[in-house]
Amino acid sequence: MLVTEIIRKKRDGKRLDADEIKAFIEGYTKGEIPDYQMSALLMAVFLRGLDNEELSAWTQAMLGSGRVIDLSHIKGQKVDKHSTGGVGDKISIPLAPVVASLGVKVPMISGRGLGHTGGTLDKLESIPGFDVRLSPERFVEAIEKIGVAMIGQTEDLAPADKKIYALRDSTATVESIQLISASIMSKKMCEGIQGLVLDVKVGSGAFMKTVKQAEKLAKTMVGIGKSAGVKTVAVLTCMDEPLGWAVGNALEIEESIDILKGTGPKDTTALVEELGAWMLVLGGVSRSKEEGKSMVRNAIKDGRGLSKFKEMVGFQGGDALVADDISRLPKAKHCLDFCASRAGFVSKIDCEKIGLALCALGGGRKKKEDEIDPSVGFRVHKKLGAHCEEGEPLMTIYYNDEEKLEECLALLRESYVIGEKKPRKKPLVIGVIE
């Protein structure tokens, strides 16, 4: 294979065959093809695109660059969920145990915070002792014994994606719907799953700001899943305001426990029901989405979801007593209300800025190496469409470091717009792509 010939072909808008794609990605993963040649190919792909067959081959090559977890000896369907990232998005934490309590296995490999969006692993690590780095054997054992585990990406799963993602980050090739789709799907397909529910976020707190972009991403990922034989459904959901009332790692664990106890916020609970129902349908334990929703509601009502959560936390070395006593979670030293500068309706929230304000407090990373402060965050009092008086709290800020507060407040001031008229809100579930 002549590496430059492959780059030239894509540069000129021609199709690559599966062998060429495989050889290129394999060669790059092994270090035989240098960064500069992969950078050139990525830019050619970014500008010229890939057709469905090429995209499928690209994803398979990334998947094949590492190990695929074998769960075939475990009875039952294995189904996962992936969110494209949002603010206050703690859904996986109550969702995975609830679905597992209903008989579908959930081998969930999650990520850390990325930019303004929070990460499930960072949230879970605010539970004292919780280990997101289970060995592959312990991960499989967890799925076998309790039906659910939530861990991080390991070195041997889709290593090509890790290398390529780092290169995309420094070559302005991240924002390609096809490369994003292949990256996400290759990582999910390593889990040995038969079904996948994608929560594709749209709005001011999402990477996809418009429904059109989100639809394109959703269709691309569903197409990849289909051609790989993984039943995939994408649910487009609104991210124009934080999900629930809590933003911040330990605060979101507290809210996840509330959801599992049936006392969680309406929007987050509704999303657990919607996504859970799809997971049950794909897992073959429910015949319809409506039936699935009612199964999820019942598992929350009778405590099965909460007890599965405790089992999972215990198995992964965490303090399961947090479920009954949230004072065991890390707490910030100080709190301060962030108040409305005028009376009116909350007409817009720049949700991305809220995510960045959390990073400013230390609750997310500005650089990859940054340590997370699990205790800081916000309790949101006013969301889109709410009326407020001048001086009324819009949020309470929980913080530890006075010096970080100014940057956080500046971002919050920019994020809230108070107007005369009540705004029209998008529905929480915007659409479904099957």
Residues carrying an active site annotation: 82, 161, 168, 183, 187
Only segment of 36-44, 176-184, 228-236, 426-434 that touches ligand URA (CB under 6 A): 176-184
In sequence order, what DSSP letters do the residues of 252-305 get, joined into one string?
Answer: HHHHHHHHHHT-S-HHHHHHHHHHHHHHHHHTTS-SSHHHHHHHHHHHHHTTHH
Question: How far apart are alpha carbons 54 and 40 in whole angstroms?
Answer: 17
d(CA 347, CA 46): 36
**Pairing of the two strands 344-349 and 393-399:** unpaired
Contact 299, 98 (CB under 8 A): yes
- Name the DSSP letter for residue 143: H
Question: Which phi and psi angles does 44 have, rounded to 5°?
Answer: -65, -40
- Which residue, 377, 372, 350, is CA-closest to 362? 372
Nearer to ligand URA among residue 180 and residue 388 (C-beta): 180
CB of residue 377 to ligand URA, shortest distance in Å? 23
200 contributes a contact to ligand URA by CB under 6 A? no
CB of residue 181 to ligand URA, shortest distance in Å:
8
Closer CB to ligand URA, 50 or 184, in the complex: 184
Residues 180-199 that bind ligand URA (CB under 6 A): 180, 183-184
Give the residue closest to ligand URA by C-beta.
183
Q: Which is nearer to ligand URA, 102 or 180 (CB)?
A: 180
- Strands 246-247 and 377-380, bridge-based pairing: antiparallel
Integer angstrom CA distances of residue 239 from 47, 139, 250? 28, 32, 21
Measure Cα distances from 214 to 63, 83, 84 in Å.
23, 12, 10
Handedness of CA 339, 341, 344, 346 (dihedral sign): negative
Q: What does the DSSP 8-state code read for residue 220?
A: H
Segment lying near ligand URA (by CB under 6 A), choices 64-72, 178-186, 222-230, 325-333:
178-186
For the bound state, the minimum distance from the C-beta of residue 66 to ligand URA, rounded and expressed in Å, comes to 15
Cα 32 to Cα 1: distance, rounded to the nearest angstrom: 12
Give me the least distance between CB of 158 and ligand URA, in Å please.
10
Of the candidate spans 1-9, 179-187, 265-273, 419-427, the one that interacts with ligand URA by CB under 6 A turns out to be 179-187
Q: Please, which residue, 91 or 180, has the CB nearer to ligand URA?
A: 180
* C-beta of 60 vs 101, nearer to ligand URA: 60
Give least dist CB 265 to ligand URA, A: 26
Q: Which is nearer to ligand URA, 184 or 250 (CB)?
A: 184
In angstroms, what is the minimal distance from the CB of 183 to ligand URA?
3
What does the binding site for ligand URA look like in residue numbers (CB under 6 A)? 165, 179-180, 183-184
